[in-house]
Chains A and B, each alone.
Chain A
Amino acid sequence: MQTHHAKRVEIIIEAPMEGRLTRALVKAGVTGFTVLPVLGGSGRSGEWSREGQVGRAGGMVAVVCLIRPDRLDGLLEAAFAVVDRHIGVVSVTDCEILRAERF
């Protein structure tokens, strides 16, 4: 099976910022992303869990984008402008994808 190099960008960010981040990604030309719920975790800001939370303030979401390597810088600049001062993690990993024309 033919596969192609791509970058997988995973941004874990506070749930109230989700809409701002995804709008910034779309504005930067990112055509596809997936938003995943995050159950809980722990970091510099302490432990947190989505269990029982009624509001969104205490929750986090993961936004995952698979993009061509040449588009990475544009995506990171757009994402960083939103997430810079917020709690969260941004990671980039190499991956292989099928159907490169879709990315």
Chain B
Amino acid sequence: MDGLLDLALANLTSPAILCFALGLAAALARSDLSVPEAAAKALSLYLLFAIGFKGGTGVAAHGLDARLVGALLAGVALSAAIPLVAFAYLRAISRLDQTDAAAVAAHYGSISIVTFVAGTTTVQAAGMLAEPYMVAVAAAMEAPAILTALWLAHRGRGPGPGDEGGTSLMREVILNGSIVLLVGAFAIGWITGADGLARIDSFIVAPFQGVLCLFLLDMGLVAGRGLRGSRGAVTAPLVLFGLTMPLVGAGLGLGAGLLVGLSPGGVALMMVLAASASYIAVPAAMRVALPDANPAIYLTLSLGVTFPFNLTLGLPLYLAVAATVTGP
């Protein structure tokens, strides 16, 4: 218990989390502090490139093992299955209609790459080892949830007149810039290995924490603005869902990680991935595929409720559980 509290305290007082809290507080207080769109995109490009590249060099250094395939399959299965659980949970505790519930469920099946980045940082800070290919698992978990959610939305009534699905949408999701950069940087890191990392480590290693701080400051601002502007769209049962669904996802991630035989850090990251909710790729896909779904609900839940929960309390909890379950 002391270990968990220490981990939680260390996480809550880390510069990155405090920057997120600063952004959140500034937005809620209606400060004019803001990060320009282009700067926010540049920060996210940097983080995706750095995390992908470092994952690739890790695979080059340690080699592949059979668990990579298992981890990828487990990730895809989790992404496809979690929306089913989230949908049933939402329909049981809230009055969301089929379309809104399916759209929210898609977000919880997919992943938040920033939560994953923060999780990786926390795992490293805790001295845990994790499989470097978990970056590839993160990329594989982006899209399957969308297919499940579209099936849930159209189940029993077929697509609406403006609903879109099929290959063009999936192509957009799979070729989403974040995924292309993450997988591409992973491949470059794998190909160039330690030599490649040595050439650019002053760019992608040392500044990483500072860039993450600025990015989380922006995420705090966006989350705060979303909470402020949600105009009552998110009710108490939905907030309860946003706080408890990550725990359900983390539990499923724990089972999958143990089944595949991942290391303690790998299990923790699988929990983080399964617990996180998308707020970049899936919202855009839902606006195209399910235009009748209310974005104020799924964006506020994903970014305003679940993301802060995972960042502050979820990460240390998942790490502690993973360490306990996989420990000697």
Q: Which residues of A does B touch, CB under 8 Å?
A: 14-17, 20, 45-59, 84-87
Contact = CB atoms under 8 A, between A and B. Distances in A.
Interface string B276-303: 0001110111111001100110010000
Interface string B19-57: 000000000000000111100110010000000000000
B230 A46 contact: yes
Q: Which 8 A-B pairs have the closest CB atoms?
A: A57-B283, A55-B280, A85-B162, A57-B284, A16-B284, A85-B291, A51-B34, A52-B218
B27 to A, nearest CB: 9
Contact of A17 (B44, B218, B287, B299): B287
Nearest to B160: A85
Interface residues of B, number: 31
Nearest to A82: B162
Contacts of A54: 40-41, 44, 218, 280
Interface of B: 34-37, 40-41, 44, 160-162, 218, 221-222, 225, 229-231, 279-281, 283-288, 291-292, 295-296, 299
- Grouping DSSP codes into helix (H, G, I), strand (E, B) and loop, the B interface class, with mixed when no group exceeds half, is helix
Given A52-B221, A54-B44, A57-B284, 13 more contacts: A16-B288, A17-B287, A46-B230, A47-B229, A48-B229, A50-B37, A52-B36, A53-B40, A54-B280, A55-B280, A58-B283, A58-B295, A85-B292
Nearest to A14: B287
Contact of B40 (A15, A17, A52, A56): A52
Main secondary structure of the interface of A (DSSP, over half): loop
A30 B119 CA distance: 48
B113 to A, nearest CB: 10
B283 A84 contact: no
Contacts of B41: 54
A54 B140 CA distance: 20
Contact of B222 (A14, A45, A52, A87): A52
A102 B37 CA distance: 34
Contacts of B225: 47, 49, 52
B281 A55 contact: yes
A14 to B, nearest CB: 5
A100 B222 CA distance: 45
A52 B283 contact: no
A86 B35 contact: no
B279 A55 contact: yes
B110 to A, nearest CB: 12
B288 A20 contact: yes
A13 to B, nearest CB: 10
Contacts of B291: 85-87
